[in-house]
């Protein structure tokens, strides 16, 4: 206030968004961790009590690793955990301002989640975002009665370490929703938002998946073992990690799902999943998450 009674403080800053996350797997728990680490009120919705407990354990392991590496103090760790709540059922997300869906990369499952969120999240201007790595956002938006509020926020694994988020708008997405989602990524989480077209695979996976599949074909055809392929790309091309170890980190099931989506969309041979990949997925050799893929993982 000035002496003449005029308010010179300007409008109040908008309240930090109350964030909801659907799913407590590697991606969902990672998104919850970075949002809570940024000081936000976070609620994670899961299907069952078992998922709730496993999600809590996954988050606890991650923040404990961060504390052991000096990235978090014990006080910061405890505050982050206190800001993160887990609940069974989507009803827990009714009061959220921003909800990020992070269930498995299966269109029917994601569509079901968005149809339910549309009936559950009460704020008319709430943003419903998908962490899909390959599906066009327009398909998910059309499962709702508010397609203008639906966007893509594709985080990369591991979420706490990776700085990029692909920001995707469908033909229906409101510019306000995209701007708010972009500000959430950059101003709140401190990550880099890359605006992408609404096409299967967006930018990164349209380039990455054919590269990973080509490496798998080399192993399948006996050109070179996995370790040699990876060593060649690390030492010969200055890649920080080889394609087969990266595929193990992503999850061979996820690589296969994205490849199938790309192949169905574009019908180009470089997107076709190799038989070796399909057999490994069928056999449960999914990489780091199961302890064995192209490599053995402790």
What are the catalytic residues? 133, 154, 166, 205
How far, in Å, CA of 248 to CA of 294, rounded?
7
Secondary structure class of 84 (helix, strand, coil): strand
How far, in Å, CA of 2 to CA of 74, rounded?
43
Q: With b meaning 16 or more CB within 10 Å and e meaning fewer, what string describes 139-151?
A: bbbebbebbbbbb
- Alpha helix ranges (H) inside 1-45: 26-37
How far, in Å, CA of 186 to CA of 125, rounded?
20
How far, in Å, CA of 99 to CA of 43, rounded?
9
Contacts of 57 (CB under 8 A, 6+ apart): none
How far, in Å, CA of 27 to CA of 110, rounded?
14
How far, in Å, CA of 56 to CA of 185, rounded?
23
């Amino acid at each position: 206030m000035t002496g003449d009674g005029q308010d010179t403080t300007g409008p109040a800053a908008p309240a930090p968004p109350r964030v909801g996350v659907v799913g407590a797997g590697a991606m969902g728990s990672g998104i919850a961790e970075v949002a809570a680490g940024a000081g936000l009120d976070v609620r994670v919705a899961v299907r069952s009590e078992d998922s709730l407990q496993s999600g809590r354990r996954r988050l606890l392991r991650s923040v404990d690793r961060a504390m052991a590496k000096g990235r978090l103090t014990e006080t910061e760790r405890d505050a982050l955990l206190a800001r993160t709540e887990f609940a069974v059922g989507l009803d827990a997300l009714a009061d959220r301002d921003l909800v990020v869906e992070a269930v498995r990369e299966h269109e029917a499952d994601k569509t079901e989640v968005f149809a339910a969120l549309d009936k559950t999240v009460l704020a008319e201007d709430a943003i419903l975002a998908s962490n899909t790595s390959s599906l066009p956002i327009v398909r998910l938006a059309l499962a709702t009665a508010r397609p203008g509020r639906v966007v893509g926020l594709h985080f990369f694994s591991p979420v706490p370490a990776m700085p990029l988020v692909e920001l995707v708008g469908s033909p229906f997405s409101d510019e306000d929703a995209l701007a708010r989602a972009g500000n959430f990524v950059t101003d709140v989480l401190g990550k880099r938002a890359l605006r992408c077209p609404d096409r299967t695979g967006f930018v990164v996976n349209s380039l990455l998946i054919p590269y990973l599949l080509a490496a798998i074909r080399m192993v399948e055809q006996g050109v070179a073992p996995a370790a040699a392929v990876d060593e060649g790309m690390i030492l010969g091309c200055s890649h920080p990690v080889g394609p087969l170890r990266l595929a193990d980190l992503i999850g061979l099931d996820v690589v296969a799902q994205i490849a199938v989506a790309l192949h169905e969309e574009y019908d180009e041979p470089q997107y076709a999943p190799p038989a070796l990949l399909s057999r490994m997925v069928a056999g449960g050799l999914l990489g780091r998450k199961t302890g064995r893929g192209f490599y053995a993982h402790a």
